[in-house]
Each structure stands twice: as C-alpha cells, then as structure tokens.
C-alpha cells in the first residue's frame, strides 16, 4: 500500500521549479517569496490556483503564467 505523503512528494516539481514559481507568484502579486511558498505549497504548486485563491481585492483578474 502506498503512503499518500510519498505520492505527494512524487508529484512535486523540482526545487528549481518551485523556486521559479515562487518568484513568479511574488512578482505577479506584489508579495514576497515566503508568502508565495506558503500559498503554492498548499495548492500543489499551481500558480493559477495560488494567485486566484488569494483573499486580495487588488489581485489581477487575468495574468499570463508560464506554468499551469
């Protein structure tokens, strides 16, 4: 039987990819990479989900993302 945390780890992007997504999130949202990491880790590293789930009225309605 497979452990769910092992399955989650197998689906993680590389460390370099996570770092890149954090930087892009921070740039788009005007926050920092620590907040970006918090949001992206909780949303399986999806930039689109992370950006659109922020409780911030000033967030962009449409953004151009490199990753989906």
- Kindly list the distances between the CA atom of residue 17 and the CA atoms of 2, 27, 37, 42, in Å, as whole numbers in the listed order: 25, 15, 12, 16
The pLDDT value recorded for residue 42 is 93
Q: Global pTM?
A: 0.69
Q: Are 29 and 36 in contact (CB under 8 A)?
A: yes
Counting the structural domains of the chain, the total is 1
What is the extent of the structural domain holding 49?
A: 13-68
**In-domain check, residue 37:** yes
Residue 53's nearest CA partner among 45, 63, 44, 43 is 43
pLDDT, tens digit (0-9, with 9 covering 90-100), for 4-20: 566 667 788 999 999 99
Instruction: List the chain pLDDT tens, one digit each, 68 residues.
Output: 455 566 667 788 999 999 999 999 999 999 999 999 999 999 999 999 998 887 754 545 555 566 55
**In-domain check, residue 7:** no
**In-domain check, residue 1:** no
**In-domain check, residue 8:** no
């Amino acid at each position: 039987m497979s452990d769910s945390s092992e399955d989650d780890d197998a689906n993680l992007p590389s460390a370099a990819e996570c770092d890149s997504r954090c930087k892009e999130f921070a740039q788009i949202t005007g926050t920092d990479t620590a907040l970006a990491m918090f949001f992206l880790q909780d949303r399986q590293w999806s930039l689109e989900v992370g950006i659109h789930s922020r409780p911030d009225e000033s967030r962009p309605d449409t953004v151009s993302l490199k990753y989906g």
